[in-house]
Structure 1
């Protein structure tokens, strides 16, 4: 087991397969962003080595993220290789949903049971304003295809006051009519050029209070299945659920069970910390091997920080870290 000096055990790895994305979401991509040079991006074979090591550390849940993972060539074949090598691992994918629909049946055949789809608005014009693209119909098509194929969905919406707060009733109705989890994630001040501000911040507490004026919400008890950072609520008379994730207003650092590896092979033990450990250099050094990576991961995890301390040390108008979200990986 991989346990840090605060007694937190890691069971969850988020692995970014690319920093490329076909959208330009305002909270993710800053104005001065640049893509990671291609030679610095991990090869799929290198990622498989890291997944093998994660399995040795009893990490049981793997989430593939981006950028947009389906934008990378060969991604479906990569999923197949993971499923064949580690059928015991709980594999999930986070995507913006715009490129997924043609692959839904193949994903189901491979055994992919869950997708997280980022969707901040149900309005076409707002979708264009947030993402820079007119792709809402593609996302909705993916959602419909996944539900028909039996793939469970979580819809993640970054909560932004003045942008999508007026759509809360629409999101509630969407969850009422469809068997999906609609989860609101508090807007985080990420990156040096963050667009976060006090005026744009919409707290989980305020979202919950307003949501209760539109429907009767029934809290979902914490279980093995429902042990993540989201506080979940059943909608009375509805097929789906509403969730709230509060990394800013009410942190969950004390129960953090995850590590992140970026698409260029940097291990991040905390989303809010810019301290990284270069696993790519070890992977590409013929004199070193998996045992070295194991030692580095164990050492890095022992010093895993409490993210809320980093958040509180920053001015609220500043980014809590210098790295933009698209480079970290969802």
Structure 2
């Protein structure tokens, strides 16, 4: 094994998020925002190139890879690609984040290939509000596909972006959903990422407020941090319930000191911090006949070494503005 990736703050990178497309079949404002133009297909990493990146990343200590978008399943052949990745990297923890609108026909083959975990984005339990947020009437499809994933034996995490004035009046429904289903219902604070997303401090439904309100609806017991699978989320069991409640607070209670993530965008840019617009262009290097993976590795090692503390960027953020200009759909979350 090669030398592990470690930055000057002592953090080791063991988790890579890989976006396979910036396209999505939904139009959630907080994610898409100003993004009306998509990356041209020739500028998107080929599946074969992603597998090359993964092999190199594994050699540098990456143990977990999460595929994201946009919406991964809008890209032709994505399910087959993920199955191939599972076969090539059987010891890597592979998972996917999806809006679950297109996953129906792929649940069984993915489960058979060993994909055991899936994150599903669902910001509301109300079908009408789902259409307001996403501009598509697909709530019932998503809800049915959550059940399909559970029936296939997958561990399902449901992620809701916590937004005041949008879904903050739905906490009883969210808690009931977690109580009655074996899922992790996780709330992610609305983040100041991208332009024209409607972000403002007053629009953030803060994690501590959610916890206080949820505690009035159910008896919650904190889960010890030994559960590596829940990452930066604070998890709480529901007494007498099947599922759990989770809180992810990148805005009010950052976890930068333990961040172990790197992000590869669909057009082959490396981002070392979600809150920074600084990128390292890897695709041209990878495709250069005299450079290739060896030079890509050098760039990744140097970039990782200088990975910033995202909270420092947040503190310098101009009042009322996003901390970075790039839309979430292009970063991959």
Q: Normalising by the residue count of structure 2, what TM-score does the alignment of the two structures yield?
A: 0.97
Shift of 1:238: 0.3
**Distance in 1 between residues matched to 2:196 and 2:89, nearest whole Å:** 39
Correspondence list, 1:186-265, <5 A:
186-226=189-229, 228-265=231-268
Q: Does 1:315 align with 2:318?
A: yes
**Counterpart residue number, 2:96:** 93
CA offset digits 1:56-114 (Å, max 9, x no partner): 11100000000000110011111122111110000010000100011111111111000
Correspondence list, 1:1-330, <5 A:
1-31=4-34, 33-226=36-229, 228-330=231-333
The answer (yes or no) to whether the contact 2:35–2:327 under 8 Å persists in 1 is no
Aligned residue pairs, count:
330
**Distance in 1 between residues matched to 2:229 and 2:283, nearest whole Å:** 33
Shift of 1:227: 5.6
Q: Give every structure 1 segment of 4 or more consecutive aligned residues whose post-TM-superposition deviation is greater than 6 Å.
A: none
Q: Normalising by the residue count of structure 1, what TM-score does the alignment of the two structures yield?
A: 0.98
Provide closer, same or farther for how the CA distance between residues 175 and 227 of structure 1 changes in structure 2, counting only shifts above 3 A: closer
The answer (yes or no) to whether the contact 1:101–1:145 under 8 Å persists in 2 is yes
Structure 2: unaligned runs, 5 residues or longer: none
Provide closer, same or farther for how the CA distance between residues 316 and 125 of structure 1 changes in structure 2, counting only shifts above 3 A: farther
**Distance in 2 between residues matched to 1:246 and 1:130, nearest whole Å:** 22
The answer (yes or no) to whether the contact 2:118–2:155 under 8 Å persists in 1 is yes
**Distance in 2 between residues matched to 1:51 and 1:127, nearest whole Å:** 35
The answer (yes or no) to whether the contact 1:19–1:36 under 8 Å persists in 2 is yes
Provide closer, same or farther for how the CA distance between residues 227 and 238 of structure 1 changes in structure 2, counting only shifts above 3 A: closer
2:170 counterpart SS class: helix
Structure 1: unaligned runs, 5 residues or longer: none
**Distance in 2 between residues matched to 1:227 and 1:123, nearest whole Å:** 26
**Distance in 2 between residues matched to 1:224 and 1:206, nearest whole Å:** 24
**Distance in 2 between residues matched to 1:124 and 1:81, nearest whole Å:** 35
Shift of 1:315: 2.2
Shift of 1:283: 1.1
**Distance in 2 between residues matched to 1:156 and 1:250, nearest whole Å:** 18
Shift of 1:33: 3.1
**Distance in 2 between residues matched to 1:310 and 1:241, nearest whole Å:** 32
**Distance in 1 between residues matched to 2:105 and 2:166, nearest whole Å:** 30
**Distance in 1 between residues matched to 2:209 and 2:87, nearest whole Å:** 44
RMSD: 1.0
The answer (yes or no) to whether the contact 1:96–1:118 under 8 Å persists in 2 is yes
**Distance in 2 between residues matched to 1:275 and 1:186, nearest whole Å:** 23
Shift of 1:141: 1.1
**Distance in 2 between residues matched to 1:31 and 1:3, nearest whole Å:** 34
Shift of 1:197: 1.4
